[in-house]
Amino acid sequence: MNRYRQFCVILFLCVGIAGFSAIRVYTYESLNWLNESLIPLFEQQTGIEVTLVSLGDAGNILSRLLLEKRHPQSDVVMGLDQTLAYRAFTESLLEPVDPQNAGRIVDRSLDFEPGGYLYPFDYGALAIIYDPERLPLPPSSFREMTAYPKSLLIQDPRNSSTGLSFLLWTIAVYREEWKAFWEALQPAILTVTSGWSEGFAKFEAGEAPMMVSYATDGAYSYHYYGSDRYKAFVPEEGAFLQIEYVGVTKGSSNREEARQFVEFVLSEEVQKELPLNQWMFPATPVEMPEAYAYAVNAPLHVTLSQAEVSENLDLWLSEWEEIMY
């Protein structure tokens, strides 16, 4: 009888341990809305407990991954854009996985190369948003923006993915002349915020009439205000596309559970919620909300190669810092 009881206890413990799993997802604060219903849905569907660790902006995610490279504390990374993602790949911070529903991504231009390490979950073109009540005659180009003193909110490219994308956007447009452009732009900048959320709070509070943001902000304005109160324009020099990725941290002790979370992010349940929560275009086909008729169409894209960015990024950030501070 005692042996039987011991066997039952051991069996119970083994089943309990095997049946419980948990993952840590590194992301940024603008994705905290996932906690409201989608994370509970994933936990209910899979039995996997999820801890969403918000690290400010996407640049902070990369910094934490680098800090923990030898002893990773995360299983999934969600929110690195193409620039930060390439750095994460070259630093061997990612583990290749094969989500079963990766075929839902039909636009192959969004893919991260080499394949298998990261999967796009949303994308959007950068734009300049403005308040037409305070700025009835907005600029139409980067050069014209320099003529509006203390009127622009930007994000810090050293820790904000939006801020970094804006810096790279200007470099893609001006190439060797980008530093001269930033010297001309500096008087037009009211302040540099740590991330998009802080900047948008200041913009909504009326601290500045323009802000670096996204071409979907017209959809946001229509959805929340029932009008195009806030408008957006893409400078005539061309648009810059930002793509955000999800993947598995190298060294994760919960690789299968992490893979399931990547699949979940690519599922229709998550993708259909992105337009009105993340205010980006989903990476897989879903029915788009009516409000997206007010998003700015930005067909002309300027780009920089991942290799060029990786080779020069530290220098560019250092030179930007010298100009701004």
pLDDT in tens, 183-225: 999 999 999 999 999 999 999 999 999 999 999 999 998 999 8
What are the strands, taking DSSP E only, across 1-149?
21-27, 48-54, 76-81, 94-95, 118-130
Q: How far is CA 107 from CA 44, 112, 120, 174, in A?
A: 30, 11, 10, 28
Query: Look-up: residue for tokens 């990612």?
Result: 94
Residue 175: alpha-carbon gap to chain centroid: 24
User: Would you kindly state where each structural domain of the chain is located, as residue ranges?
Assistant: 2-122+242-288, 124-241+294-324
CATH number of the domain at 124-241+294-324, please? 3.40.190.10
What b/e readout covers 192-217, taking b as 16+ CB neighbours within 10 angstroms?
bbbbbbbbbebbeeeebbbbbbbbbb
**Alpha-carbon gap, residue 9 to 3, rounded angstroms:** 10
Between CA 283 and CA 1 the distance in angstroms is: 59
pLDDT, one tens digit per residue, over 47-88 is 999 999 999 888 899 999 999 999 999 999 999 999 899 999
- The CATH fold of domain 2-122+242-288: D-Maltodextrin-Binding Protein; domain 2 (3.40.190)
C-alpha to C-alpha distances, 305 to 11, 113, 214, 302, nearest whole angstrom:
55, 11, 21, 10
Q: Any residues with CB less than 8 A from the CB of 12 and at least 6 apart, and which?
A: none
Fold: same for 2-122+242-288 and 124-241+294-324: yes
HSE (CB half, 13 Å, CA atoms) of 174? 20
What is the 3-class SS of 181-237, one letter each residue? HHHHHHHHEEEEECCHHHHHHHHHCCCCCEEEEECCHHHHHHHHHCCCCCEEECCCC
What distance in Å separates the CA atoms of residue 144 and residue 142, rounded to the nearest whole number?
5
Q: How much of the chain is in helix, strand and coil states, percent to nearest 5?
A: 45, 20, 35
- Residue 25: pLDDT above 80? yes
Distance of CA 190 to the CA centre of its chain: 24
Task: Provide the 8-state DSSP code for 316.
Answer: H
- 17-21, 141-145, 289-293: which has the minimum mean pLDDT? 17-21
Percent of the chain with pLDDT over 90: 80
Give the whole-angstrom CA distance, residue 176 versus residue 181. 10
Read off the pLDDT band of 1 (50, 70, 90): very low
